[in-house]
Amino acid sequence: MAQLFEQSKKVIEAQLAGTSIRAISGSMVAYEGNVQFKSAGFGGGEGVLNGLKRRATGEKLSLMECNGNGRVFLAVNGQNVTVVNLNNETLQVESQQLLAFAGNLRTDVRFAGVGGMSSGAGLFTTTVSGQGQVALLSAGGPLIHLEVTPQYPLIVDPDAFVASRGNLNQSFITDVSWRTMVGQDAGEAFSLRFDGQGVVLIQPAER
């Protein structure tokens, strides 16, 4: 299986040994060895149903496949990078923050709430499930890991949300008066609420 490493705070190194990874198209900044690149289509799963989901949600997760023997270096606009290991788990991730994944993983599109909001963030997300590694992007600095327990639900700005894992239920809160206090009350303000047991990953900047 290909391996992903945090080569620096802003660059992912993928090590290939007759193996392959999938990454966001255009994210390759350098490579060495005998590596081939080809389009891997769009994330969101296979088949007609998932194709319809992508059209309905506006998901534009254009992927490339990198395979062969060598090293591939990946980065996007100087954003910070983090590698997350999955062991037969599901990671729910905002598609804009997904950089690459390796291993026995499949992607799908998950409907996370009702439409009609002024921001599309958090309404439709990409899920990555199985066993392998996922490389995530974060703006403004490294990802912040926030634990959720049954006693302490978590409220998150949808523009700061990057990913979540664990046994979590996601819902929407539309009465968020704090947005008015920070001057972000345009449109239909809402926040994401997470209940249950798990971890939510956020970035220290808004999209």
Place 138 in a pLDDT band, splitting at 50, 70 and 90. Answer: very high
96: pLDDT strictly greater than 70: yes
Question: Could you tell me which residues come within 8 angstroms of residue 111 by beta carbon, excluding any fewer than 6 positions away?
Answer: 53, 57, 123, 124
pLDDT at residue 182, rounded to an integer: 53
Query: Tokens 């983090």 label which residue?
Result: 82
Q: Kindly report which listed range (20-29, 37-46, 100-109, 139-148) carries the lowest average pLDDT score.
A: 37-46
Top pLDDT among 40 and 114 is at 40
Q: Kindly report which listed range (42-46, 66-70, 159-163) carries the lowest average pLDDT score.
A: 42-46
CA distance 192 to 178: 13
Percent of the chain with pLDDT over 90: 61
CA distance 103 to 86: 9
pLDDT at residue 178, rounded to an integer: 55
Report CA 4 to chain centroid distance, whole Å. 15
**Mean pLDDT throughout 29-35?**
98
Place 111 in a pLDDT band, splitting at 50, 70 and 90. Answer: low
Q: Kindly report which listed range (32-46, 101-115, 116-130) carries the lowest average pLDDT score.
A: 116-130
103: pLDDT strictly greater than 70: yes
Top pLDDT among 56 and 26 is at 26
Top pLDDT among 46 and 190 is at 190
Question: Could you tell me which residues come within 8 angstroms of residue 14 by beta carbon, excluding any fewer than 6 positions away?
Answer: 2, 3, 4, 5, 21, 23, 66, 71, 72, 73, 74, 100, 102
Top pLDDT among 191 and 144 is at 144
